[in-house]
């Protein structure tokens, strides 16, 4: 889609709603205006979603109609619609090249529609950026959102926000797709029939007086974790007005144990903030702090900054990870030990004991070697005040308490550990809270249940029986506010469509308490409401806009005088100044005894199971997000499904192969689920991720995967012991994007230890004489038919810019943020499970995962792989039409509109980073039938049609934008002025892009690093994207790193490898 289309289209949008965009300060520019009268009229007439798709269409604004037309690129449209196809068939039948060349040249007339009144800030063709924040599990990550004439198209991190520092995670990157999700609920529903907001108000009005008179007895509010100061304020107000009302919280992937741990240790709730930027030794007790924890994006950055050696100073922190199922932390760890969850407690006690925590007692974990334990202890002792012991969110309170005790003992507190006021509005045990609610529901105590977001009917443990009691007659009136008409909405009397955070005002706190104002970039596409609005209604302030509620609250905090300035600044910066949570001085009051509640968790013997939030759909809320569903899980590369992960040994014992269906029994509850064998999975424990098996997610997510909540225990949300695993004999197709996990002894990921590096920075040259480190994308001279410059392009002149990239494999944590960022930036389609199984996924950037060494506990290596922009590109040489050629600045240009689709370039690409549109993939996400999805597209990137090749372009649209701006005033492009999407999203700054001709640029500097090498450079492809070898910092007393390929699970491959080994052996 060309920018012209973009402008045209967006202009019409704006034109359609000018008056409102001007007058109404509430909505960021580009908001749309609907004829509500018409909508309501039609609504009451229409029934069932099939009659209409969106309010625009409903209101029949001419703007939107053309908008749809224009938003479709003709190129794609041509063979998307049947007529066009038949036209081509005729041509083929005639098979006249001439006819072909002329058949479809003439363009149809197109309309161009200006504003009626042009807003000042809008320059057609230039995007605007707005600061806002996205929350996950209640905790905010600051973002800057790109708006193309009123359409939010891309989310970036907010550099000023403590939880982001400019980076994001995969969820945040994908959130913009959820905004346009055509399956989002688009109207108020009453008992499965379409209804209106007004009739909902009257229905509620009928209830409220009675409730008031009863002091609110019978009124229950159920929320997820609340950090929003304003919402908290509203709730407080409500509870004051109606003291008998109750507010419950439930977060399926919540932090009950963390809270309880703090309480156990200090007798009160405090939040722990880790300062990885000050820690030299980190010990993780089953904690994956690089992902999924509040603030983990920030933590990842702080942690990695401490182990970057490419930059010269050769210092690294050291990470010990004890984990039950492979996670990101385990992959980057210097020493990793897979242990059962039940062993973490003894381990923690042992550590604490050895470090002098009296209360610890002297427990000894079974599978942990003395040697390792001693190493850990010695390291911790050696780095008092500069170390962190962190317990996993899932681990029971005792482990957290022990961790606190250890950190205290090592006087890390105040240095690497900070205890602060909880960011939550009301810290409490969610499990207990929801339990209480369900009991009252059963007891008929609940008259009016208002569920603000969340999906308890699905994501509470089935054994809790929330759904059962929700539908029983005793709950008189249940109201559910949610973005989808989901499992819970279906069971409630009323469903209110919720606004996406890009559509609504609001506020939220980050992991460190810092508050952010959430501002909308577009008026609600589907008339979504916010929790604030619903609360206002309950508070009897019906039709008070969220904006007012919000301002009212903050006005209270700031005071009248210069509130205006404060507000503008807060909204603009995306952070509210001086809101960081105040530090707390806490006293360790912990006797080391295991609380009663915990005893039963690991009681008894047998197989253990771990429930984890899913790395792609979290607790299930992202189930209908195609980008995330198709995103390969970091370690297993599994897409479109979840599976129960088992260790190779268990597979051997139970005779299980990948994809075998097994029947799991956890406390009498059964679930059939396929197995996936995961090297490095701890023995005696299996793990299953939450968030799948949705029954009402939408067209993308419904029926995908297996519902772990069905067997999730209520008493301990994360672990269970005594699991039975029975082979059913049935099979199930699991699809991964990487079939082969070993490097086959090939020089793909180069690695070593800090020690090697310090002894000889060029140590890698020893193993790889073929490559010169200095300029590794020019490996060596080869004989050539072209005497000049050994086959390089002699006519090339030196240009100002020579684009290049360096990827630091020591810094990459494999979090996938870059993959989604690339997809969002470049209009990359998704293709669905069946196509992925054929090997046709379309992501331009993939993260390869290799194992080295012992299959039971291998070393894991991540390698982001994208088009490396070879200077001697094999793909270019073989393209018969010159659709992929080299630019003067060293870019390997892929020209979609010239491509005829021979796929020869892909065959000849040694990195296999080219992606082909085998079918019209635009149709997969219903782009063809769901116009609003077209608004998501980046107008600066062509939408590819069926039958053309595509690949990473180094985000050339960003390069061009920067070049044009620079050339207008004839200045060079500054280093860092062009950021590729992947680079911008990367939490650990593992990706560096820039101009190689500028010796001072970051990328040029890194290219000089002795760790720099080009993957497969021995093929003389001269990659412009090179990688930095992965360094480890092992404890001197422990084994450095493993060598030797991890054997394949496929007997055939094992035979091949054996033959090869014999061959090599025969020679030496």
Partner 1 sequence: MPQVFHPSMNTFSKATIFGALFVLIALAFVADRVERSPYVTEVDVFREQPVPFSHEHHVSGLGIDCRYCHTTVETSAFAGLPATEVCMSCHSQIWKDSPMLEPVRESFRTGKPLRWTRVHDLPDFVYFNHSIHIAKGIGCESCHGRVDQMPLMRRAASLQMAWCLDCHEKPEGAIRPKRDVFRFGPEARPVSHEDALRLMKDHGVETEQLLDCWTCHR
Partner 2 sequence: MEVPADVYGLMAEFETGDALLEAAKRAHEAGYRQMDGFSPFPLHGLSEALGFRRTRLPVVTLIGGLLGGGGAYFMLWYACVVSYPINIGGRPLHSWPAFIPITFELSVLGASFAALFGMLALNGLPRPYHPVFNVPEFVRASRDRFFLVIEARDPAFDLAGTRQFLEGLKPEKVFEVLP
Partner 3 sequence: MSDHATTVSRGGLPVLKPGHTFGSVTDKISSIVQTRQPKSWWFGFAVGFTLLMLFLYTTTYLLATGIGIWGTNIPTGWAFPIINFVWWIGIGHAGTFISAILLLLKQEWRTSINRFAEAMTLFAVSCAGLFPLLHLGRPWVFYWLMPYPNTMDLWPQFRSPLVWDVFAVSTYATVSLLFWYVGLIPDMATLRDRTQNRFAQIVYGMLAMGWRNSARHWHRYQMAYLLLAGLATPLVLSVHSIVGMDFAVAIVPGWHSTIFPPYFVAGAIFSGFAMVVTLTVPLRWLYGLQDFVTLKHLDNMAKVMLATGSMVGYGYACEVFYAYYSGNPFERYIAIDRMLGGYAWSYWGIVICNALAPQLFWVRAIRRNVIWLFVISLITQTGMWLERFVIIVTSLHRDFLPSAWHMYYPTIWDFTEFLGSIGLFLTLFFLFIRFLPMISIFELRELVSDKSE
> Minimum distance from CB of 882 to partner 2 (Å)?
6
Q: How far apart are CA 1068 and CA 1066, in angstroms?
A: 6
The one among 264, 290, 388, 875 contacting partner 2 by CB under 8 A: 875
Structural tokens at position 23? 């007058």
Q: How far apart are CA 896 and CA 912, in angstroms?
A: 18
| By CB under 8 A, residue 1055 contacts partner 3 | yes
| By CB under 8 A, residue 974 contacts partner 1 | no
Give 695 or 897: the residue with its C-beta nearer to partner 3.
Answer: 897
Q: How far apart are CA 257 and CA 397, in angstroms?
A: 5
| By CB under 8 A, residue 118 contacts partner 3 | no
> Minimum distance from CB of 770 to partner 3 (Å)?
12
With CB cut-offs between 5 and 8 Å by kind, which of partner 3, partner 2, partner 1, none does residue 738 bind? partner 3
With CB cut-offs between 5 and 8 Å by kind, which of partner 3, partner 1, partner 2, none does residue 871 bind? partner 2
| By CB under 8 A, residue 455 contacts partner 3 | no
DSSP 8-state code for residue 314: -
Question: Strand runs (DSSP E) across 326-470, as ranges?
Answer: 335-338, 387-391, 417-420, 448-452
Closest CA to 947 of 923, 926, 913, 916: 916
Q: How far apart are CA 613 and CA 254, in angstroms?
A: 10
Structural tokens at position 175? 């959130």
Give 898 or 926: the residue with its C-beta nearer to partner 2.
Answer: 898
| By CB under 8 A, residue 1036 contacts partner 2 | no
Q: How far apart are CA 567 and CA 507, in angstroms?
A: 12
> Minimum distance from CB of 26 to partner 1 (Å)?
19
> Minimum distance from CB of 787 to partner 2 (Å)?
10
Indicate the helix (H) or strand (E) that contains 256: helix 256-266
> Minimum distance from CB of 928 to partner 1 (Å)?
16
Structural tokens at position 313? 């100073």
The one among 101, 589, 728, 792 contacting partner 2 by CB under 8 A: 792
Q: How far apart are CA 696 and CA 701, in angstroms?
A: 8
Only segment of 13-21, 528-536, 604-612, 639-647 that touches partner 1 (CB under 8 A): 13-21
| By CB under 8 A, residue 972 contacts partner 1 | no
With CB cut-offs between 5 and 8 Å by kind, which of partner 3, partner 2, partner 1, none does residue 873 bind? partner 2
Adjacent-strand bridge partners of 675:
644
Only segment of 517-525, 671-679, 882-890, 965-973 that touches partner 2 (CB under 8 A): 882-890
With CB cut-offs between 5 and 8 Å by kind, which of partner 2, partner 1, partner 3, none does residue 989 bind? none
Site for partner 3 in 877-916 (CB under 8 A): 877-882, 885, 898-904, 906-908, 910-912, 914-916
Binding mask 226-265 for partner 1 (x = CB under 8 A): ----------------------------------------
339 within 8 A of 348, measured Cβ to Cβ: no
The one among 22, 44, 47, 101 contacting partner 3 by CB under 8 A: 101
Only segment of 330-338, 431-439, 853-861, 870-878 that touches partner 2 (CB under 8 A): 870-878
| By CB under 8 A, residue 19 contacts partner 1 | yes
Concatenate the DSSP letters of all residues of 146-163 into one string: EEETTEEEEEEE-TTSTT
| By CB under 8 A, residue 1022 contacts partner 3 | no
| By CB under 8 A, residue 1056 contacts partner 2 | no
The one among 19, 23, 41, 100 contacting partner 3 by CB under 8 A: 100
First-to-last alpha carbon distance for the chain, in angstroms, is 58
With CB cut-offs between 5 and 8 Å by kind, which of partner 2, partner 3, partner 1, none does residue 957 bind? partner 1
Site for partner 1 in 866-895 (CB under 8 A): 885, 887-889, 891, 893, 895
| By CB under 8 A, residue 1019 contacts partner 3 | yes
> Minimum distance from CB of 236 to partner 3 (Å)?
53
Closest CA to 496 of 57, 134, 199: 199
Closest CA to 528 of 574, 572, 485: 485
| By CB under 8 A, residue 940 contacts partner 1 | yes
The one among 298, 849, 989, 1022 contacting partner 3 by CB under 8 A: 849
With CB cut-offs between 5 and 8 Å by kind, which of partner 3, partner 2, partner 1, none does residue 793 bind? partner 2
| Residues 6+ positions from 730 with CB-CB distance below 8 Å | 660, 661, 672
- How distant, in Å, are the alpha carbons of 324, 512, 750 from that of 581? 33, 6, 43
| By CB under 8 A, residue 65 contacts partner 1 | no
Q: How many CB atoms lie within 10 A of CB 192?
A: 11
Q: How far apart are CA 733 and CA 639, in angstroms?
A: 11
> Minimum distance from CB of 879 to partner 2 (Å)?
8
Closest CA to 831 of 994, 1043, 632: 632
| By CB under 8 A, residue 964 contacts partner 1 | yes
For residue 80, the SS3 value is: helix
With CB cut-offs between 5 and 8 Å by kind, which of partner 1, partner 2, partner 3, none does residue 112 bind? partner 1
Indicate the helix (H) or strand (E) that contains 430: helix 430-443
| By CB under 8 A, residue 863 contacts partner 2 | no
Give 116 or 382: the residue with its C-beta nearer to partner 1.
Answer: 116
Give 885 or 1049: the residue with its C-beta nearer to partner 2.
Answer: 885
Closest CA to 489 of 523, 524, 431, 449: 449
Q: CA dihedral defined by 112, 117, 118, 119, rounded to 10 degrees?
A: -140
573 within 8 A of 131, measured Cβ to Cβ: yes
Q: How far apart are CA 82 and CA 136, in angstroms?
A: 43
Closest CA to 437 of 605, 220, 622: 220
With CB cut-offs between 5 and 8 Å by kind, which of partner 1, partner 3, partner 2, none does residue 917 bind? partner 3
Only segment of 233-241, 657-665, 791-799, 827-835 that touches partner 2 (CB under 8 A): 791-799
Q: How many CA atoms lie within 13 A of 810 on its CB side?
A: 29
| By CB under 8 A, residue 876 contacts partner 2 | yes
Site for partner 1 in 107-146 (CB under 8 A): 107, 109-118, 123-126
273 within 8 A of 514, measured Cβ to Cβ: no
With CB cut-offs between 5 and 8 Å by kind, which of partner 3, partner 2, partner 1, none does residue 378 bind? none
For residue 732, the SS3 value is: coil
| By CB under 8 A, residue 949 contacts partner 3 | yes
- How distant, in Å, are the alpha carbons of 560, 881, 900, 916, 993 from that of 947? 61, 14, 7, 7, 30
Q: How far apart are CA 230 and CA 238, in angstroms?
A: 12
Concatenate the DSSP letters of all residues of 733-769 into one string: --EES----B-TT-SSS-EEEHHHHHH-TTHHHHH-T
Give 479 or 677: the residue with its C-beta nearer to partner 3.
Answer: 677
| By CB under 8 A, residue 658 contacts partner 3 | no
Q: Does the CA dihedral 1018-1022-1025-1027 come out positive or negative? A: positive
> Minimum distance from CB of 951 to partner 3 (Å)?
11
> Minimum distance from CB of 877 to partner 2 (Å)?
4
Binding mask 756-785 for partner 2 (x = CB under 8 A): -----------------------------x
Alpha helices in 785-856 (DSSP H): 817-825, 833-837
Binding site for partner 1 (CB under 8 A): 1-5, 7, 11-12, 15, 18-19, 62-63, 73-75, 98, 101-102, 105-107, 109-118, 123-126, 797, 799-800, 885, 887-889, 891, 893, 895-898, 940-942, 953, 956-957, 960, 964, 967-970
Binding site for partner 2 (CB under 8 A): 785-786, 788, 791-796, 870-877, 882, 885-888, 1022
């Amino acid at each position: 889609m060309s920018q012209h289309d973009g402008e045209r289209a967006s202009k019409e949008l704006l034109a359609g709603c000018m008056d409102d965009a001007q007058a109404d300060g509430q909505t960021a520019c580009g908001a749309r205006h609907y004829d509500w009268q018409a909508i309501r009229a039609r609504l009451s007439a229409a029934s069932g979603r099939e009659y209409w798709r969106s309010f625009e269409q409903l209101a029949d604004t001419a703007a939107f109609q053309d908008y749809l037309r224009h938003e479709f690129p003709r190129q794609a449209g041509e063979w998307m619609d049947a007529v066009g196809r038949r036209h081509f068939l005729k041509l083929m039948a005639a098979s006249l090249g001439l006819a072909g060349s002329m058949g479809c040249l003439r363009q149809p007339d197109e309309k161009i529609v200006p504003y009626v009144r042009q807003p000042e800030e809008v320059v057609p063709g230039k995007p605007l950026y707005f600061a806002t924040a996205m929350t996950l599990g209640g905790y905010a990550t600051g973002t800057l959102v790109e708006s193309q004439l009123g359409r939010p198209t891309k989310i970036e991190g907010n550099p000023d926000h403590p939880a982001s520092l400019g980076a994001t995670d995969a969820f945040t990157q994908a959130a913009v797709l959820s905004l346009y999700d055509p399956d989002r609920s688009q109207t108020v529903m009453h008992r499965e029939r379409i209804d209106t907001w007004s009739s909902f108000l009257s229905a509620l009005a009928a209830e409220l007086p009675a409730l008031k008179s009863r002091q609110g007895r019978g009124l229950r509010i159920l929320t997820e974790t609340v950090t929003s100061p304003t919402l908290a304020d509203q709730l407080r107000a409500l509870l004051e007005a109606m003291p008998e009302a109750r507010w419950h919280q439930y977060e399926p992937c919540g932090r009950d144990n963390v809270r309880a741990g703090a309480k156990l240790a200090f007798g009160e709730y405090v939040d722990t903030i880790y300062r990885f930027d000050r820690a030299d030794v980190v010990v993780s007790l089953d904690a994956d702090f690089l992902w999924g924890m509040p603030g983990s994006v920030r933590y990842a950055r702080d942690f990695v900054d401490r182990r970057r050696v490419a930059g010269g100073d050769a210092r690294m922190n050291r990470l010990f990870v004890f984990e039950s199922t492979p996670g990101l932390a385990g992959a980057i760890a210097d020493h990793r030990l897979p242990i059962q969850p039940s062993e973490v407690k003894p381990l923690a006690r042992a550590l604490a004991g050895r470090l002098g925590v009296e209360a610890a007692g002297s427990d000894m974990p079974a599978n942990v070697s003395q040697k390792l334990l001693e190493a850990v202890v010695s390291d911790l002792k050696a780095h008092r005040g500069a170390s962190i012991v962190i317990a996993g969110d899932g681990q029971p309170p005792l482990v957290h308490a022990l961790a606190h005790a250890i950190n205290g003992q090592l006087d890390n507190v105040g240095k690497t550990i900070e205890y602060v006021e909880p960011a939550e509005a009301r810290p409490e045990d969610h499990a207990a809270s929801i339990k209480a609610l369900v009991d009252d529901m059963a007891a008929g105590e609940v008259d009016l249940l208002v569920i603000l977001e969340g999906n308890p009917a699905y994501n509470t443990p089935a054994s809790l029986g929330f759904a059962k009691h929700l539908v029983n007659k005793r709950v008189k009136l249940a109201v559910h506010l949610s973005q989808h008409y989901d499992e819970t909405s279906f069971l409630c009397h009323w469903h209110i469509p919720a606004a996406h955070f890009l559509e609504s005002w609001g506020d939220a706190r980050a992991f460190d308490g810092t508050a952010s104002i959430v501002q909308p970039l577009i008026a609600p596409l589907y008339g979504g409401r916010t929790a604030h609005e619903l609360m206002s209604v309950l508070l009897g302030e019906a039709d008070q806009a969220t904006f007012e509620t919000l301002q009212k609250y903050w006005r209270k905090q700031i005071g009248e005088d210069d509130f205006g300035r404060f507000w503008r600044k807060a909204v603009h910066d995306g952070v509210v100044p001086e809101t960081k949570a105040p530090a707390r001085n806490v006293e360790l009051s912990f006797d080391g005894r295991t609380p009663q509640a915990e005893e039963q968790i690991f009681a008894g013997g047998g197989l253990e199971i771990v429930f984890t939030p899913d790395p792609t759909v979290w607790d299930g809320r992202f189930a209908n997000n195609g980008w995330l569903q198709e995103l390969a899980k970091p370690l297993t590369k599994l897409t479109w499904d979840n599976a129960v992960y088992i260790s190779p040994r268990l597979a051997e014992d139970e005779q299980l192969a990948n994809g075998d269906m097994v029947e799991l029994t956890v406390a009498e509850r059964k679930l059939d689920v396929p197995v996936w064998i995961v090297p490095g999975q701890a023995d005696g424990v299996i793990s299953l991720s939450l968030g799948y098996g949705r029954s009402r997610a939408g067209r993308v997510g419904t029926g995908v995967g297996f519902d772990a909540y069905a067997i999730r225990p209520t008493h301990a949300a994360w672990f269970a012991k005594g699991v039975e695993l029975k082979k059913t004999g049935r099979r199930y197709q699991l699809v991964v994007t990487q079939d082969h996990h070993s490097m086959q002894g090939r020089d793909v990921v180069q690695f070593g230890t800090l020690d090697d590096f310090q002894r000889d920075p060029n140590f890698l040259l020893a193993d790889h004489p073929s490559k010169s480190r200095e300029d590794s994308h020019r490996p060596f001279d080869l004989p050539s038919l072209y005497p000049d410059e050994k086959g390089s392009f002699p006519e090339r002149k030196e240009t100002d810019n020579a684009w290049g990239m360096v990827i630091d494999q020591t810094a990459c944590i494999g979090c996938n943020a870059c993959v989604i960022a690339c997809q969002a930036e470049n209009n990359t389609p998704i293709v669905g499970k069946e196509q992925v199984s054929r090997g046709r996924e379309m992501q331009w950037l993939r993260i390869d995962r290799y194992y080295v060494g012992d299959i039971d506990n291998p070393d894991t290596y991540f390698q982001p792989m994208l088009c490396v922009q070879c200077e001697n590109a094999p793909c270019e040489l073989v393209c018969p039409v010159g659709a992929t050629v080299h630019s003067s600045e060293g870019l390997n240009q892929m020209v979609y509109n010239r491509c005829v689709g021979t796929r020869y370039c892909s065959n000849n690409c040694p990195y296999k980073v080219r992606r082909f549109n085998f079918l019209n993939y635009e149709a997969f996400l219903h782009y063809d039938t769901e116009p609003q999805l077209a608004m998501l597209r980046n107008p600066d990137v062509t939408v590819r049609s069926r039958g053309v090749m595509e690949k990473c372009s180094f985000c050339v649209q960003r390069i061009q934008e920067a070049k044009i701006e620079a050339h207008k005033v004839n200045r060079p492009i500054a280093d860092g002025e062009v950021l590729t999407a992947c680079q911008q999203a990367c939490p650990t700054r593992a990706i560096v892009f820039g101009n190689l001709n500028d010796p001072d640029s970051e990328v040029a500097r890194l290219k000089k690093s002795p760790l720099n090498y080009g993957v497969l450079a021995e093929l003389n492809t001269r990659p412009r994207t090179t990688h930095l070898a992965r360094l480890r910092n092992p404890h001197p007393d422990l084994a450095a790193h493993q060598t030797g390929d991890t054997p394949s699970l496929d007997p055939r491959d094992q035979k091949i490898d054996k033959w090869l080994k014999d061959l090599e052996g025969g020679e030496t």
